[in-house]
Chains A and B, each alone.
Chain A
């Protein structure tokens, strides 16, 4: 059982959050003391029939005082917004070179998959001190990936991919919870995050049963789903080649340019008519309903791996 009185700061992000939290706590505490103190003071001093001095409001307690009070409140709130807002912005994007882990949520379990293909259920092993980027999707309703010790939380939404990242800073086992109500067993949709030393993590990874890694799985799907019929180099159909496309800017037929990232690839598989690449006809069928979220992630990983191979040439 974890301590009921304190929450470990087990990620770099947790320190930032707690700093804001404690400042707010001090400010709130001071305000509570001020308001309650004044009310108590007035209640005692000006109780009916007491001998305290009465009379009209003193001169200084006028409009200007009210405006001054309002402005002071406003300024301090704007300051709080600025501080909290910039903390949020600076931790928005996952750093380059993060360990990418795919998470699929379903009623009522968490499925995680490491880049090597190792899979876990309701558990996740991560190395200490290395940024971990989670790419998450849901197979049914909305869930929320919540690790209190890391101070991170992100809804996992069906039909789209959401992401968060964290960098664990403490060894140990921390609870993973579902924070968005998702039906009957919402409260048992929990898991464990195990933070290990990088060398232990590497050893652990090797011990996992051999599974195809995501890119290999994606390569199989690429053939079995018929993608290679058009997108492979030998094909007669006029379709874009995918080698090296990942991460590049793509010119679209309506003049826009987009970056070929995970979201773009996902959209192109599910809604191919939306962003057609310049110079090609909109002939690709939609794979909506034919591929589940795990398969989409595998295909994306395969296309990404093609880019990495390309860069070696």
Chain B
């Protein structure tokens, strides 16, 4: 019942899909095809994910004992710093936007590619160069400033390879800006005929809002690191209090980027979940326009809450109050989203394939993490729990429980489209449940440890916190297995998986109307759009289990 058959067109001559369209290494390294660049990114971030994971494995092993048994303090400090730097800038920030976003954005809006394909490839090479700097910093002996590079420690006191690590982050920032510019221009300029702004899938909106933050916040990170490098390497006084500088100024610049960066990591995750839940509940998303406004509000207000990281830094009481107020306000759009995802399940025909399990896991973990954020927005409570494991647990709930779960949801959801192969579903379900369990085992105890007063970044700790650390480390073992499983069965599916049809989930969305895997230019005919997203059933009709085009066609007759 596709358009082609209805129109009575002849079948097209066979042509290779994007994966088989040139098979030499050079054809991959010089490609401007957004789908191939997405694959290049996927390989890169997988490498960095397991690199960052290896670092934190050592950290968690060390924390079994209150006084350490495996590492020196310096090594410990370098490992958690490396874990943070790698996971934030080389995994989480590029994870969903540069892999799923790169692959899906043109497909979802009916475009042959992104607006500036060569810039897209350039951005990947920048990421690789930046990664090389950072890995060099590790091999040369490591960096021990934490991922936050606080001055004057980073600029005057640390004896580690701050320059290489900061330069790596500086360069990867430009990759981020290039991607952001590209995605914004693509969304504005390349939408297919009929694809109006309010017919865009929420994933596209999420990537668009994310790109705005990337473009406007990342340059400030670049400057803050450039200033650290200038002070450290060139000896120019900037933050050094002994020469009149202000070390707190660095924190303002750093968090002006790094708080919005949290939304760079979580908005795309919200986009993925907004695609998956309607598909497996066979319902329209509840309150589409509220979802759009909520994402734009998060992106906008996200720029004005950075000071809640600095309630104990000595900033003025007035500044703290303003930042506290805005931090409560930004929780409202997040609450809207949780409510709308839940309401989208109502009167659905819900099935529980692995992408849905990961997505429901996301909603649960994001809700928990978001609620713990309210504690941190309340100044008196924040003063007590900031810089403790409470904060560690909070942001891991948002960024690992939230973003990484959603990344796996998206990976499983679009895997048939990307590779043309089906993965073993029961293994995937098992991994999803294991990941949820392992995650909570790891991070729930950290809320308790943090409230009871265990500071973060502690190599050795008071003995009363051992019980929580042992629980956490044991959970991390479960979590590691849950992360390794998909690596195994997804790789297996590349060789032995069954062939996926064009639309294995019977989903709406333009990406499902082309072949799996798609051809190099995405669509054989220019798609036209005449309805909004998530039309899983005809207007006024009940959720059914048939494919959307069948249900909607029935309504037309």
Taking beta carbons and an 8 Å cutoff, which residues of A are in contact with B? 1-4, 6-7, 13, 16-17, 20-21, 24, 27-28, 31-32, 35-36, 38-39, 42-43, 46-49, 52-57, 61, 63, 66, 69-70, 73-74, 77-78, 80-81, 83-85, 87-89, 91-92, 107, 140-142, 144, 146, 148-149, 151-155, 157-160, 162, 175, 177-188, 190, 288-289
Contacts and interface: CB of A to CB of B under 8 A. Distances in A.
A67 to B, nearest CB: 9
Pick the 3 closest A-B CB pairs, nearest first. A159-B241, A148-B453, A84-B378
B73 A184 contact: yes
Contact of B324 (A36, A84, A141, A155): A84
A35 B367 CA distance: 8
B455 to A, nearest CB: 4
Contact of A43 (B73, B324, B345, B367): B345
Contacts of B331: 73, 77
B347 A17 contact: no
Contacts of B324: 81, 84-85, 88
B465 A4 contact: yes
Interface residues of B, number: 92
Given A49-B545, A151-B383, A7 B350 contact: no
A20 to B, nearest CB: 6
Contacts, number: 260
Contacts of A151: 380, 383-384
Given A69-B339, A84-B381, A184-B74, 4 more contacts: A2-B462, A88-B324, A141-B152, A179-B388
B381 A24 contact: yes
B279 to A, nearest CB: 12
A159 B367 contact: no
Contact of B462 (A69, A73, A175, A178): A175
A225 to B, nearest CB: 18
A54 B298 CA distance: 33
Secondary structure call for the A interface: mixed
Secondary structure call for the B interface: helix
B348 interface: yes
B374 interface: yes
B464 A32 contact: no
Interface in B132-148: 144, 146, 148
A142 B152 contact: yes
B335 interface: yes
A183 B242 contact: no
A28 B453 contact: no
Nearest to A35: B367
Contacts of B384: 17, 21, 148, 151-153
B252 interface: no
Nearest to B290: A66
Given A35-B363, A186-B457, A54 B377 contact: no
A46 B281 CA distance: 8
Contacts of A160: 241, 314
B246 interface: yes
A183 B459 contact: no
Nearest to B544: A54
B343 A61 contact: yes
B350 A46 contact: yes
Contacts of A42: 342, 345-346, 348, 350
B287 interface: yes
B357 to A, nearest CB: 10
